Chain A
């Protein structure tokens, strides 16, 4: 089917026109064209449910005047429209410059030239609604394998981003990313009590090739069986025991209790009115033992297929793999060039905007927990009294990112080195730094999964962005666990 696409504008000639018209009244101009094309396709209870397309494309004009950067976004891509946006940006840069928080220079907008295309075999142009829906309808039907399954869905989202950036100091780079994700879910109900199991397949950079019917049908069987199994499972016990978190929970634990507190703009206070502050202080870098010796966390923008891989961040900084936490020691922050200049601590290329109409801020890219050397079997065997938790369903942490609580869909007790009873409504709570210092074993490569989250929220104005996490299973000592009920 021919798609209704946006014609990418000729940014270089636009920039020339603007420079001629108003270039003399500011120090630097950048133009970023972003197009986000998202397809959402859903089947529910073995029937077709929804399909929709969203195409958000526009230009963000950035100007620098007297050390202050101002942004102006417009979807009017005519010469007059871009000029109007530029004039508005110049106006605000001039008004704000006397009150600026920092005197920025073009050093924070280095020249970047290149072209990144995310790995995929089948692009959006190959999309056949009929084919995908056949798969999703069948999968949601398979999920609804018993009368006690009262609800099931198979939900796919394919998102394609195209970004092009040019600037008066010679930047000219493009980023093309295609993300594919399918979410399978079944809810079982008996005597007024319901239990849900979810599987998120392929939250990563990939194409339509990820939509494999046989794989989905296979997963669907396990998901619905586990939902039914939970109906007769006892509640999670309330006590202290070793906690083995599988990748689809490790993701959230890493995201909330390591990713966010290491964000430099939070440490600098920018987010104190919204997303929150951080327990990490600028003086902690190079000194704070964030976790046990087994904890190694990296910024991994070059990881193939991980959700947030790219060549340059939105400020034009070249993205390279860096250790944030090495052998448990905090060494580097998640902060882009602007925050690094303000804070004078080492950071990474992570200055990202969520959409065409938002300014870049410090974001996680791919924040990964490096694999250890233990197999899952070894971790279970080494545990006398423990619990395995799978699939996050609840997350909450304070504004300094210390006191967290997580809930999962499915858990199994470990007794004397063996997996025994399945339990429902598992939750645990703890405090970030002591928790990671109790990290006892880290799963090897065979336990690693590339996952992430689609809607990490932050910023004023608010921005929801996708971030990647490539993570293994992790075993933590003496964690406070508990079950559900009022």
Chain B
């Protein structure tokens, strides 16, 4: 089914029913996905999902009222237009019952675009064989997700932005008998058996290093290297109000002191939202296009907060294309000068952390976070890996590890895909370098 022409036809018909003072904003997320779940290199569960999430925002420009409803399309035009028309009538009644929106934002024409990536997805018939042959004897656990995704935002003022991609990811871990494990992922739009095998081969090579008896590390401050994956986990938590204009005004922004110039990071920290990565759409749920790049932190100083049109109106700020949640997409942290071959030498004696787990703010006011090490993490002495470590808890402020304790960032970055699949498949990715810091605080 051609989702683009289908949704265009459906919304056109719907917009024809609008009165002069009314607007509709439609957000569609469509996916046809296969989720294949594995444990111990066996098939645990398979789920096929066909879903078209249809979100309608109704605006009455005379009364400054709005109402919203989200439901699922069936793919049958007659049924869908009937359902959507009923919903429109319902939304009119619902809006009538609601108060006027004190920060009413009208629909606007933000232009049209259609970005499409056609990929080469693996055929159902070959995928399991290729996974199991690449995994070999390893204890392979994780999931393969594959299928097309289509997203669009269309409004009655003429906005029509669409984004279509064929994509897949293999998100997996390999485990040893001693419970030590390596985590990795293989993602893209064109499936290649060779790339999959190469990816698993690299993981198996790293897994060998974990066969040594793991060491218990005492709590304390350690010089620590975080791989791009681990560093991405750390920055991921900043999606939780870290750069949000509304959070700043409402007392929930962990970087309040940074944006008020009472604190700063090392001048080596520059963090941007950068859509040139091309992994996720630039348009937000209202159809507004975000700038191609927007610096949030520049050379250690707070530069921009993300501001949605609604926050702009409420707090008298300037909007910059942010989505309603004001969380960043396509985050890029500028690389530093640390070369791959010098990581262990520069680390000297300390900890090498490949992955982190279950992060949370321990004191949001102090930009302080806690979390656990996970998977392939090592104790390093005089530039040599000595042994894997048993998991450690950390509790540390960004003002320390991105501030006075930052030694350097790596001169290379990795694109870390978003593999989140709550409700529907996410389509974001961040490009993050590794980071070497001093005196990182491990507490348990």
Binding site for B on A (CB under 8 A): 1-4, 6, 47-48, 51-58, 68-78, 81, 85, 88-89, 91-93, 95-96, 99-101, 128-130, 133, 137, 150-151, 187-189, 192-194, 196, 268-270, 272-274, 276-277, 355, 357-359, 361, 394-400, 402-403, 405, 407, 425, 427, 429, 431, 457, 460-464, 484-486
Given contact pairs A51-B98, A405-B395, A93 touches B46 in the complex (Cβ within 8 A):
yes
Judge whether A4 and B86 touch: CB under 8 Å. Answer: yes
Given contact pairs A78-B74, A396-B358, A399-B391, A4 touches B90 in the complex (Cβ within 8 A):
yes
Given contact pairs A54-B69, A92-B34, A396-B371, A355 touches B362 in the complex (Cβ within 8 A):
no
Is B141's CB within 8 Å of the partner chain A?
A: yes
Is B260's CB within 8 Å of the partner chain A?
A: yes
Judge whether B44 and A407 touch: CB under 8 Å. Answer: no
In-complex Cβ contact of B125 among A58, A95, A400, A461 (8 A): A95
Chain B nearest CB, measured from A268 CB (Å): 7
* Bound Cα distance from A397 to B373, whole angstroms: 10
Is B105's CB within 8 Å of the partner chain A?
A: no
Report 13 cross-chain contacts, Cβ distance below 8 Å, ordered by A residue: A4-B86, A55-B71, A57-B72, A70-B47, A91-B124, A101-B43, A270-B37, A394-B361, A399-B374, A403-B393, A460-B171, A485-B368, A486-B397
B398 nearest in chain A by CB position: A486
Q: Which residues of B contact A91 (CB under 8 A)?
A: 124
Judge whether B37 and A398 touch: CB under 8 Å. Answer: no
* Bound Cα distance from A484 to B360, whole angstroms: 14
Chain A nearest CB, measured from B115 CB (Å): 25
Interface stretch of the complex, out of B173-181, B332-340, B379-387: B173-181
Judge whether B142 and A276 touch: CB under 8 Å. Answer: no
Chain B nearest CB, measured from A230 CB (Å): 11
Chain A nearest CB, measured from B404 CB (Å): 11
Interface-centre pick from B70, B252, B423 (highest chain A CB count, 10 A):
B423
Contact digits for B62-105, partner A, Cβ 8 Å, 1 yes 0 no: 00000111111111100100000011001001100111111000
Judge whether A58 and B365 touch: CB under 8 Å. Answer: no
Judge whether A193 and B365 touch: CB under 8 Å. Answer: yes
Judge whether B370 and A396 touch: CB under 8 Å. Answer: yes
* Bound Cα distance from A396 to B51, whole angstroms: 33
- State which residues 110-167 of B face A: CB under 8 Å: 124-125, 128, 132, 141-143, 145
Judge whether B143 and A273 touch: CB under 8 Å. Answer: yes
In-complex Cβ contact of A398 among B47, B256, B393, B420 (8 A): B393
Q: Which residues of A contact B70 (CB under 8 A)?
A: 52-56
Q: Which residues of B contact A361 (CB under 8 A)?
A: 45
* Bound Cα distance from A76 to B76, whole angstroms: 8
Contact digits for B252-265, partner A, Cβ 8 Å, 1 yes 0 no: 10001100101000
Chain A nearest CB, measured from B423 CB (Å): 7
Interface of A is mostly: mixed
Judge whether A407 and B362 touch: CB under 8 Å. Answer: yes
Is B24's CB within 8 Å of the partner chain A?
A: no
Judge whether B370 and A405 touch: CB under 8 Å. Answer: yes
B367 nearest in chain A by CB position: A486
Given contact pairs A272-B39, A397-B358, A398-B391, A485 touches B366 in the complex (Cβ within 8 A):
yes
Is B48's CB within 8 Å of the partner chain A?
A: yes
Tally of chain B residues near chain A (CB < 8 A): 90
* Bound Cα distance from A188 to B252, whole angstroms: 11
Q: Which residues of B contact A194 (CB under 8 A)?
A: 251-252, 256, 365
Judge whether B360 and A81 touch: CB under 8 Å. Answer: no
A270 nearest in chain B by CB position: B39
Q: Which residues of A contact B391 (CB under 8 A)?
A: 398-400, 402-403
* Bound Cα distance from A88 to B37, whole angstroms: 16
Q: Which residues of A contact B68 (CB under 8 A)?
A: 51-53
Given contact pairs A192-B256, A192-B262, A484 touches B363 in the complex (Cβ within 8 A):
yes
* 19 new A-B contacts at CB < 8 Å, known A48-B102, A355-B423: A1-B94, A3-B90, A56-B72, A76-B76, A81-B74, A130-B97, A187-B250, A188-B251, A194-B365, A273-B141, A394-B361, A399-B357, A402-B391, A405-B395, A405-B444, A427-B362, A460-B142, A486-B363, A486-B368
Given contact pairs A55-B70, A101-B42, A277-B179, A92 touches B48 in the complex (Cβ within 8 A):
yes
B263 nearest in chain A by CB position: A486
Is B35's CB within 8 Å of the partner chain A?
A: yes
Judge whether B49 and A73 touch: CB under 8 Å. Answer: yes
Judge whether B45 and A69 touch: CB under 8 Å. Answer: yes
Q: Which residues of A contact B44 (CB under 8 A)?
A: 101, 270
Q: Which residues of A contact B39 (CB under 8 A)?
A: 101, 268-270, 272
In-complex Cβ contact of B422 among A75, A405, A457 (8 A): A457
In-complex Cβ contact of B97 among A77, A128, A150 (8 A): A128
Judge whether A72 and B48 touch: CB under 8 Å. Answer: yes
Is B225's CB within 8 Å of the partner chain A?
A: no
